[in-house]
Structure 1
């Protein structure tokens, strides 16, 4: 029996589109009641409606992760609708790019305020409640960009995601004593629309990617990998198993790995992953 999701109450902040929406659908398929929150209330409602058409219980909530009161109201709203949360996911985030010398301090501050402190605001509410109840599962979304060096074209984003990973791992270590699980989803290249409309602080810069040895995954593959990993009790959950070999390489020779990435870039390889037509077609499914 699926004990992770069946009959459980879940909230996903950042589920109005893309990976968050697919995760909400996957959790609903596995038997969870899912509250869907997003900065765009209409987008959240669209996701919630897809869940209801599947026969699942779902509500839509507006959430601004920059606003403590909004985050609190979102969590309270989800618990008022379904009862105490068994699963809470922090998936809201932003992305921008450019050469480091062109990224202003304000962009750094905004990146951390959304990608890291947006999670902190929510966790500061949900962690004490889960400790009091003696159980629960917290999920945070990081990125390959926070796990090893390649994202020289978005250093501020990579730094924020590295912070999310560290926070998640140490939170998992602390919360084990209370029977609370923590998982950190680490997406590699995934087909989404998140790069559309992203802000660019440099002209004609090259968007460096995690590696040409990788292939782009679909959003559904990402949702399945995360959900399976949660059922297995995993903490760090990457979308691509190739990550582990890369991390071994980095651990053996960090300086050499960075130099290799530099040499690959000079040779015309920015690390762009491969992509199949099936993956391209999946964005419109």
Structure 2
């Protein structure tokens, strides 16, 4: 049975960037795609691009901080396109700074959007899927939640680590009900998200996942996720190199952290490489 052909999907957080490209990729694979976003204009623009591919779509407003807004978006998606076979939680925020400069309110905002936004949506979608005995939940985490490197955005990393743990345990629980779960873990991906991020420290260095990595394009990221979903994968990193890194962390966590510290002190903040083709992909 195809993961996408003839299926109804909703992506919350698809008004731009990775979410938009995933919506387009799922449409190419035969899905009807409802698009929800805090920006109604962005959602409608993505929906129009989906329709241009010949797939059914609807653009919806959704504020993941508001339970009523989340329920309204999910109900509207199902009313327009049918019961959800696939639901993706992709809405998220990013900010940076040294940990001593991050206010408690920003920690709360980060978790309220990045984690509890998903909890609010899943609380509605999961019981409906359980009642039908099938479905696929997709949550977006990050490399920052996989291993320690993000000392310049600890609050963000903590929220994404929580998303990963939630996703893995949800996958374990929902298997018995015929529901699959996938957790997309983007490493370096070319997006416009850093342009809008808040900064709470001056002159700090943004630490990245590793100079051995190369930035992926958004369309490639969408294909990686979609192929992994077809293959029944639960944890879906954008870069296969991460598995070697996780093995290193598991073998000796203390040594790994000391290594990352030594690299940073030697002037290597872990900035990934980037090709011209990837740069051009976002300009297009």
Where do 4+ consecutive residues of structure 1 move more than 2 Å?
A: none
State whether residues 57 and 81 of structure 2, in contact with CA within 8 Å, keep that contact through their aligned partners in structure 1: no
| Counterpart-to-counterpart distance in 2, 1:278 and 1:184 | 27
Q: CA RMSD in A?
A: 0.5
1:100 is aligned to 99
| Counterpart-to-counterpart distance in 2, 1:81 and 1:240 | 35
1:278 is aligned to 277
TM-aligned CA deviation for residue 284 of structure 1: 1.8
| Counterpart-to-counterpart distance in 2, 1:9 and 1:54 | 15
- Per-residue CA distance 1:239-285 (angstroms, 9 max, x = gap): 00001000000000000000000000000000000001100000022
Query: TM-score, normalised to structure 1's length?
Result: 0.99
Q: Secondary structure of 2:193's match?
A: coil
TM-aligned CA deviation for residue 83 of structure 1: 1.1
| Counterpart-to-counterpart distance in 2, 1:258 and 1:122 | 35
2:206 is aligned to 207
1:87 is aligned to 86
| Counterpart-to-counterpart distance in 1, 2:181 and 2:155 | 24
Task: Give the gaps of 5 or more residues in structure 1.
Answer: none
TM-aligned CA deviation for residue 197 of structure 1: 2.1
Is 2:177 aligned against 1:166? no
2:25 is aligned to 26
Query: TM-score, normalised to structure 2's length?
Result: 1.00
Q: Secondary structure of 1:196's match?
A: helix
Is 2:237 aligned against 1:238? yes
| Counterpart-to-counterpart distance in 2, 1:159 and 1:263 | 22
| Counterpart-to-counterpart distance in 2, 1:142 and 1:22 | 17
- Per-residue CA distance 1:90-133 (angstroms, 9 max, x = gap): 00000000000000000000000000000000000001101111
State whether residues 7 and 31 of structure 2, in contact with CA within 8 Å, keep that contact through their aligned partners in structure 1: yes
Task: Give the gaps of 5 or more residues in structure 2.
Answer: none
The aligned runs of 1:1-285 (5 Å cut-off) are 3-285=2-284
Aligned length in residues: 284
